[in-house]
Amino acid sequence: MAAAANLDGKYPVFGQVIEGMDVVQSLTLRDPQNDPALAEPDYINSVTIEEK
């Protein structure tokens, strides 16, 4: 995997949080149109995709 800056801000991402909603709610809310950069951005270090 590698960064794909050409896709930034162009495509929505859909998913469902099945555990760890407290972590999602702790992320900083921002509007990238009005606030393009955060001094200390949040990062998601890992994601697990499970197929049913």
Count Cβ neighbours within 10 Å for each residue of 30-43 and write b for 16 or more, e otherwise. eeeeeeeeeeeeee
- What global pTM score does this model have? 0.48
Spell out the per-residue pLDDT of the chain, length 52, in tens: 688 888 887 887 778 888 889 988 998 887 777 877 777 888 888 888 888 7
Predicted pLDDT of residue 22: 93
CB of 38 within 8 A of CB of 31?
no
